[in-house]
Structure 1
């Protein structure tokens, strides 16, 4: 398992234990940052994110393909709203978590979206998963799978800010790809960066004020107790612990480097 997958697994598990919903996405703060930067405020904002997401699903939608379905929290909530949901994700670990929480009969498929071989769905839903997929393969597959609409709640790279890994493109490149393909049209496209950005202020506060000092104390105490065990632990977990111990400033960098948008596309009439 790579470090990113481990972080997402941990976020989903923590959310499940603390708030009962298990969401692994960012929070949604339409009224701006909360007065108190707390985990409780973030959990409530994750629920608000889901409400914003499901509110964008076009009327008349019955079946949804949840792309990059993570731990299954969104899918579970969608099923409770009456949707027929199929999940697809390449993360075997997260898919196992999803299968344990989803109702019997809800299909969870171990595959990348580009390799998905299932049939059509009324709507394809991407909650912080679209940026992992190259544009052309994504739209080629969407032309086959999305019967009516596509809902994307995700971030795009701002021009001039490259990423060392991943396939995150700019919003302009996305719009050009939509127009070039001609199968779908943009129904709505809302910049929600300001409403998402407080997530990072909370992340920074919790990490810098609580997590990093704890990790530092833990490593120091473990080394004092057993140098051999500490050495073995560092070989396995050192890189992850380094990341948790480093100070975070994403509340400053994220809005400068990204724009977070809620985009709804509908299939053009033949």
Structure 2
């Protein structure tokens, strides 16, 4: 029987939701917007709230039927439902699907990938909040426009690799996403019109410094523990180090060590290698492929 691949991204997101809930009291898994805020851990919750408010400002007048694609832990969907919108969430991770049901009890949760998702009705708005980068570019954009009602909208808030992107070699360059040039070309070719686009790269970049500061704290703790084991329990330390090499491999351990001790991940590197864009697209009315919400069946 073939081994099932471990979904490390889903595990990481679930663990991240637990940590951010402890830190801020909410389970937002997105960047913060740091305009006029001191970039310290105590302001993470405020920065994430500012991000949410900025995103809500892009919504067309409602109430709307909204498809939240890759809905994280359901915090955004819960806010949208509280504002009177009808929300469906597509999320592939079972632990995150459970958090979505808890945080957005009025939303319908579809535990599946966006590629596999289908709907008998169209949506007024398809929302990608930092999920667009995990789906092939044209699949994400074209399918979202398919699922949107005629005259409906697609809202994308995500990170894209800039024209200045430089691969990191042994360590992965901070940020991620599709190449921004390919994204702009896809927008030109798609069945929709860009109504508004805002570049908030500099405003979200301090989130990287906060994250790296946390890893440095963890790295200091690991360094102290390693020193204690080396001095007082050398055999145990040798066994643990060997087990780690067998479990993760030398390359992964090196990358993890750089996360704990390095400074490659910074707001400066993020701005140099990425563009964080919020883009609102309106679907052309001549491209109806789904019945409108609540449309009568003939």
- TM-score, with normalisation over the residues of structure 2? 0.78
Structure 1 residues 269 and 157: alpha-carbon distance in aligned structure 2, compared to 1, 3 A threshold: same
1:28 match: 33
Q: Which protein is richer in helix relative to its size?
A: 1
1:246 match: 261
Q: Deviations over 1:4-63 (max 9, x none)?
A: 3333222211121222221011110223x61xx422112210111111111111112411
Q: Deviations over 1:186-224 (max 9, x none)?
A: 00011111111111222233332x222123234555675
How many residues end up aligned between the 2 structures? 264
Q: Which moved more, 1:171-180 or 1:213-222?
A: 213-222
Q: Deviation at 1:73?
A: 1.7
Once residues 186 and 203 of structure 1 are traced to their aligned partners in structure 2, the CA distance between those partners, rounded to angstroms, is 32
1:171 match: 180
1:193 aligned to which of 193, 196, 201: 201
- The answer to whether the 8 Å contact 1:215/1:244 transfers is no
2:289 match: none
The structure with the larger Rg is 2
2:22 aligned to which of 12, 17, 41: 17
Q: Deviation at 1:99?
A: 2.4
> 1:202-221 alignment to 2 at 5 Å?
202-208=210-216, 210-221=217-228
Structure 1 residues 153 and 139: alpha-carbon distance in aligned structure 2, compared to 1, 3 A threshold: closer
- The answer to whether the 8 Å contact 2:161/2:176 transfers is no
> Where in structure 1 are there 5+ consecutive unaligned residues?
none
Q: Which moved more, 1:210-219 or 1:73-82?
A: 210-219
Structure 1 residues 6 and 179: alpha-carbon distance in aligned structure 2, compared to 1, 3 A threshold: same
> 1:142-153 alignment to 2 at 5 Å?
142-147=144-149, 148-153=152-157
> Where in structure 2 are there 5+ consecutive unaligned residues?
1-5, 287-298
Q: Which moved more, 1:120-129 or 1:168-177?
A: 168-177
Q: Deviations over 1:98-125 (max 9, x none)?
A: 223331x522212221221123211111
Structure 1 residues 47 and 234: alpha-carbon distance in aligned structure 2, compared to 1, 3 A threshold: farther
Query: SS of 2:14's equivalent?
Result: helix
1:136 aligned to which of 135, 138, 154: 138
Query: SS of 2:115's equivalent?
Result: helix
2:9 match: 4
Once residues 258 and 178 of structure 1 are traced to their aligned partners in structure 2, the CA distance between those partners, rounded to angstroms, is 18
- The answer to whether the 8 Å contact 1:72/1:102 transfers is yes
Task: Report whether the alignment pairs 1:70 with 2:75.
Answer: no
Task: Report whether the alignment pairs 1:43 with 2:45.
Answer: yes
Once residues 222 and 115 of structure 1 are traced to their aligned partners in structure 2, the CA distance between those partners, rounded to angstroms, is 49
Once residues 176 and 209 of structure 2 are traced to their aligned partners in structure 1, the CA distance between those partners, rounded to angstroms, is 25
